[in-house]
Each structure stands twice: as structure tokens, then as C-alpha cells.
């Protein structure tokens, strides 16, 4: 949901591509990962290497980490560390976790389905559907909200810090979407709408409210009707005000932070249980690797949108530089070996990413149950993300 490592991620991917270097495969005897089908020359994700990458994340300080990789041969899974620090319960690759901003891909798909039905236009303004909610709402379009080119300031960083540094009871406040927008509505736009790209969770809260205004239903109802039920995503939830996660689950943790947002020394905070309403359309999603991969396969396989709208959704912003680029509810990783489409998510308790090749045939998910991670953990997580990305594309070549 928040994007603390975006610049580092882009730099890491660019550096790895320029160097042409990938980690050497781990010794086969060290592998704990398992594969659902027999090995094949087509499989380029080595289970030992996958396990090594996750072990490095845990060795750097994360409680646990998991990965899920699917290709033409089958599924490879791996996990390291623990899902629960108190009990020592092992991390697994099939557990529920908070997926954060991966929700944006589902919300954007609902919006584009409404566009396909003629109920919305990408050029409709915020003022058209939500009069008075934003002083400059007549200058901001739905497409700009979806692409993070609206200039609407992001409310989320301050709420994240408040949740992590404030009194425990503050974690259970219920926020309405209108209250979230109101946190920044009196601020001027960060730039002239449409002239730059800057990640804004507020934009997706506005998009969610537009969906409700256009349909007369709640956003959760539209997500269930249009995506979750048709695709059989039984392990995916849009909880709004529900405090916990369904079992089996990973517990989520964070490094403690000061009221100014600085990382502090001390025991990790258990932030599994809280009211996730502050993230709403921007990142209020609980899911599993298997469910999220199924969604992206259906999306990229053309089951959810007409071809022209899917192509538009996947087109990166001209103002978002490579190799990691924002599109319309999707994030795009460009490499010499090809393009990956999907989304990452950072939300109190978890960091994760789910990406696919353009045809949806090769996919991966990566998750660690730590948020506001120290630099060593971030570096190990990014190394895993970059290596898995490049291996996946290497295998698709």
C-alpha cells in the first residue's frame, strides 16, 4: 500500500539487468522447497535457489518469508522462518496474509468492466461522480486516478505511522472512505493533474467511491459479484472493518517506529489484529498466493476485460520511467527478457508482490510477514524479487 522501497526496487532491477548477473543455484541438498510435478528442462526456478533466497530474507531479520512460482510444468513452493513468533509455527506458502495494494488491480478491473458496460468513462471527472469531495475534482479524471497521475496527495503514510506508533486502541478506529479523502482534500495537488506520476492511495479511495456511486452497491459487493465469485477465489476477502485474518494465516509484524516515522530498535510489533478500514480500496485485501495468481491469470488471459481495455490497462504511463512502471491498476517490470505485470503491496504486517508474464502462463508470489523492515531485510527481499523475476523470464524465453 505504501511504497517505501520503490526507488530502491527500480535501481535494483536496473542494476541486475545491466550486470546480467543472477545468484548461483543453491546446492540441491539444501532445498526444502517442493514442486507439484516432476522436474523438467522447462522449469527455470531451481527449488534450492528459491529456498536460499527466502532463507536470506529470514537471516536478515524477517520472521518468515514464502514464495510460490507457477510455470508450464507446475507449481514450486518454498517457505522459511515462522508464521508466528510466539508459537514458532512454521511459515508456509499457502497461508492467508494481508495483500495490501494488490487490491488495486482488482479494483481497477471492476472500474474497467464498468467502462466496458458504458456506465463509466475513463475521462469522467471526480466532480462528475463525487461533487464537492475535492476542490479541484473537475480537473481530475478516473484514468488519472487509476494511473497515479492525478496529483492528489497521499493520505496513507501518516495513518501508517499513527497505527504503528500510537496507543494500541488507535489500531481499532473505523475510518470511512470520505474521512480518508478529507485528510488531504484541503491540500493543493502535488502537481498539475496528468503531468507526472506519484503513487497515491487517495486516488484509489476516490475510485472506490466512484464505483459505489455508479452502481449503487458497495465496493465489496461489486468485487465479490464481478471477480471473487466468478473466479472461485474462496480465500480472498475484502474485510473493510474486520480485525483479524482467517485461518490458516501468517501473523504480521513491523519494526517499531517513532511518531516521526523513524525505525526504532526493539522487539517487533505484532500487528496482525487491527481495523484495516484505513486502506479500503487502496489495500484492504486478504488472500493467498494461489488465489491472487488465479486472478492475474484470468485477467491477462482475457476473461475479465475486452482486449482493447486490457491493453490500455497494461500500458505504462509515459511519465513513469522504466524498469518499474505504473500502469492502470497494474505495475510493469520491463527487462531485456520480457515484461512482467502484476502488483506489489506493503501494508502493516506484510510486504508482498504477485507478478505474471504477459500471457499469464508464468507467475510468482513473494511475501514476508514484516513491514517497515530494516535495510538489510529490504535488500534481501529485493534480491529475491529481482532474481525470481529474471529467472521467470529466462524460462519463458
Is 301 a domain residue?
A: yes
Q: How confident is the model at residue 10 (pLDDT cuts 50, 70, 90)?
A: low
Bond preceding residue 323 cis, omega within 30 of 0: yes
Task: Please write the tens of the pLDDT for every residue from 188-202.
Answer: 999 999 999 999 999
Residue 45, pLDDT score: 81
- Asked if the model's pLDDT at residue 41 lies above 80, the reply is no
Question: Which has the closest alpha carbon to 282: 219, 364, 189, 360?
Answer: 219
Residue 23, pLDDT score: 34
Is 192 a domain residue?
A: yes
State the DSSP H helix or E strand holding residue 331, giving kind and residue range, or none if neither.
strand 331-335
Cβ–Cβ under 8 Å, residues 118 and 339: no
The predicted model gives 76-94 an average pLDDT of 98
CB atoms within 10 A of CB 304: 22
Task: Please write the tens of the pLDDT for every residue from 280-299.
Answer: 999 999 999 999 999 999 99
CATH of the domain at 19: 3.40.710.10
Find the helix packing angle between 6-19 and 375-396, rounded to 10°. Answer: 50
Strands 324-326 and 286-287: unpaired
Is 1 a domain residue?
A: no
Strands 338-347 and 64-70: unpaired
Residue 44, pLDDT score: 66
101 is catalytic: yes
Residue 6, pLDDT score: 54
Phi-psi region of 92 (alpha: psi -120 to 50; beta: other; left: phi over 0): beta
The predicted model gives 354-381 an average pLDDT of 96
Q: What's the number of domains the chain is made of?
A: 1
- Asked if the model's pLDDT at residue 331 lies above 60, the reply is yes
Averaged pLDDT of the chain: 91
Q: Which CA distances in Å does 345 have to 37, 75, 287, 353?
A: 29, 22, 12, 6
The residues, any chain, with a CB within 8 Å of residue 308's CB and separated by 6 or more, are none
Residue 324, pLDDT score: 87
Select which of 80, 101, 200, 320 is catalytic: 101
Q: Dig out the grid coordinates for 283 from the structure.
A: 489495500
Q: How confident is the model at residue 263 (pLDDT cuts 50, 70, 90)?
A: very high
- Asked if the model's pLDDT at residue 275 lies above 50, the reply is yes
d(CA 101, CA 279): 9
Residue 396, pLDDT score: 65
- Asked if the model's pLDDT at residue 25 lies above 90, the reply is no
Q: How confident is the model at residue 322 (pLDDT cuts 50, 70, 90)?
A: confident
Sign (positive or negative) of CA dihedral 194, 200, 206, 210: positive
Q: Dig out the grid coordinates for 135 from the structure.
A: 476542490
Find the helix packing angle between 103-116 and 201-215, rounded to 10°. Answer: 40
Q: Dig out the grid coordinates for 269 from the structure.
A: 510489533
- Asked if the model's pLDDT at residue 20 lies above 50, the reply is no
Q: Dig out the grid coordinates for 345 from the structure.
A: 503491496
Task: Please write the tens of the pLDDT for every residue from 86-134.
Answer: 999 999 999 999 999 999 999 999 999 999 999 999 999 999 999 999 9
Q: What percent of the chain has pLDDT over 90?
A: 83
Residue 337, pLDDT score: 84
Q: How confident is the model at residue 215 (pLDDT cuts 50, 70, 90)?
A: very high
Is 378 a domain residue?
A: yes
Burial degree of 247 (CB within 10 A; 0-12, 13-18, 19+): exposed
Q: How confident is the model at residue 4 (pLDDT cuts 50, 70, 90)?
A: very low
Cβ–Cβ under 8 Å, residues 100 and 71: no
- Asked if the model's pLDDT at residue 83 lies above 90, the reply is yes
- Owning domain of residue 131: 6-38+47-83+90-396
Cβ–Cβ under 8 Å, residues 350 and 102: no
d(CA 380, CA 348): 19
Task: Please write the tens of the pLDDT for every residue from 45-61.
Answer: 899 999 999 999 999 99
Amino acid at each position: 500500500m505504501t511504497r517505501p522501497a520503490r526507488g530502491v526496487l527500480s535501481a535494483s532491477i536496473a542494476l541486475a539487468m545491466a550486470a546480467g548477473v543472477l545468484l548461483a543455484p543453491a546446492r540441491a541438498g539444501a532445498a526444502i522447497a517442493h514442486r507439484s510435478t516432476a522436474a523438467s528442462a522447462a522449469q527455470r526456478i531451481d527449488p534450492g535457489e528459491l529456498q536460499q533466497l527466502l532463507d536470506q530474507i529470514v537471516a536478515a531479520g524477517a520472521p518468515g518469508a514464502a514464495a510460490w512460482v507457477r510455470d508450464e510444468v507446475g507449481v514450486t513452493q518454498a517457505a522459511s522462518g515462522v508464521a508466528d513468533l510466539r508459537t514458532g509455527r512454521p511459515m508456509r506458502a499457502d497461508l492467508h496474509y494481508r495483500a495490501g495494494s494488490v487490491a488495486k488491480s482488482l479494483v481497477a478491473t471492476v472500474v474497467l468492466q464498468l467502462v466496458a458496460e458504458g456506465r463509466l468513462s475513463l475521462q469522467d471527472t471526480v466532480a462528475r461522480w463525487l461533487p464537492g469531495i475535492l476542490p479541484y475534482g473537475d480537473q481530475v479524471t478516473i484514468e488519472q486516478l487509476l494511473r497515479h497521475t492525478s496529483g492528489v496527495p497521499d493520505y496513507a503514510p501518516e495513518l501508517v505511522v499513527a497505527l504503528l506508533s500510537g496507543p494500541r486502541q488507535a489500531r481499532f478506529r473505523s475510518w470511512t472512505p470520505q474521512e480518508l479523502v478529507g485528510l488531504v482534500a484541503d491540500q493543493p495537488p502535488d502537481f498539475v493533474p496528468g503531468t507526472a506520476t506519484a503513487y497515491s492511495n487517495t486516488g484509489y479511495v476516490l475510485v472506490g467511491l466512484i464505483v459505489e456511486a455508479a452502481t449503487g452497491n458497495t465496493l465489496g459487493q461489486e468485487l465479490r459479484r464481478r471477480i471473487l465469485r466468478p473466479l472461485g477465489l474462496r480465500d480472498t476477502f475484502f474485510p473493510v472493518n474486520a480485525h483479524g485474518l482467517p485461518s490458516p494465516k501468517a501473523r504480521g509484524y513491523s519494526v517499531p517506529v517513532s511518531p516521526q516515522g523513524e525505525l526504532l530498535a526493539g522487539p517487533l510489533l505484532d500487528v496482525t489484529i487491527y481495523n484495516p478500514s484505513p486502506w479500503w480500496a487502496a489495500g484492504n485485501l486478504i488472500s493467498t498466493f494461489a488465489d491472487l495468481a488465479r486472478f492475474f491469470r484470468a485477467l491477462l488471459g482475457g476473461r475479465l476485460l475486452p482486449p482493447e481495455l486490457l491493453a490500455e490497462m497494461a500500458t505504462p504511463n509515459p511519465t513513469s520511467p522504466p524498469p518499474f512502471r505504473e500502469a492502470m491498476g497494474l505495475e510493469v517490470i520491463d527487462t531485456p527478457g520480457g515484461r512482467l505485470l502484476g502488483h506489489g503491496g506493503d501494508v502493516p504486517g506484510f510486504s508482498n508482490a504477485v507478478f505474471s508474464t504477459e500471457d499469464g502462463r508464468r507467475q510468482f508470489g513473494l511475501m514476508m510477514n514484516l513491514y517497515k523492515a530494516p535495510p538489510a531485510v529490504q535488500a534481501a527481499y529485493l534480491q529475491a524479487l529481482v532474481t525470481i523475476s529474471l529467472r521467470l523470464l529466462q524460462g519463458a524465453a
